[in-house]
Amino acid sequence: MLFWVLSALLSAGIAWSFLASAKRGASVEDDPSVTLAKAELAEAEADLARGTLSADEAEAVKTEIKRRLIRRAPTARALQTGQGPRTTLIIAIVPVVIALGLYLLLGRPDLPDQGLELRLAHSADLYQSRPSQAEAEPKGDEFADDVGKASMSDLSLIAQLREAVAGRPDDQQGHELLANNEAAIGNYRAAWRAKDRANTLLGSVVTGQQLAEQASWMIEAAQGLVTPEAEAVLKRAYEIEPANPVVQYYLGALYMQIQRPDYAFDTWNQLYRSANPDNPVLAVLDDQLPIVAQLAGVNFTPRNDLAQPETPDIGAMVEGLYSRLMTEGGTPDDWAMLIRSLMVSDDIQRALAVLTAAKAAYADDAAVVARFQQVFDDAGLAEQ
Query: One digit per residue, pLDDT tens: the chain, 384 residues?
Result: 555 556 666 666 666 665 566 555 445 455 666 677 777 778 878 877 887 778 877 788 778 777 776 666 544 444 444 455 566 556 666 766 776 677 666 666 666 555 678 888 989 999 999 999 999 998 764 444 455 556 677 778 888 889 999 999 999 999 999 999 889 888 899 999 999 999 999 999 999 999 999 999 999 999 999 999 999 999 999 999 999 999 999 999 999 999 999 999 999 999 999 988 888 888 889 889 999 999 999 999 988 876 555 556 677 888 888 888 888 888 888 888 888 888 888 888 888 888 999 898 898 888 888 988 888 887 765 444
CA–centroid distance for 326 within its chain? 51
Q: What pLDDT is attached to residue 26? A: 46
| DSSP letter, residue 204 | G
Cα separation, 109 vs 198, whole angstroms: 54
Q: What pLDDT is attached to residue 344? A: 81
Exposure letters 141-165 (e unless 16+ CB within 10 A, then b): eeeebeeeebeeeeeeebeebbeeb
Q: What pLDDT is attached to residue 73? A: 52
16: phi then psi, degrees, rounded to nearest 5: -65, -40
- Report the phi/psi class of residue 223: left, alpha or beta, with left for phi > 0 and alpha for psi in -120 to 50: left
**Side-chain-facing half-sphere of 277: CA atoms under 13 Å:** 8
Q: What pLDDT is attached to residue 144? A: 46
Q: Which residues have a Cβ under 8 Å from the Cβ of 273 and sit 6 or more positions away? A: 303
CA angle 44, 49, 53 (to 5 degrees): 55
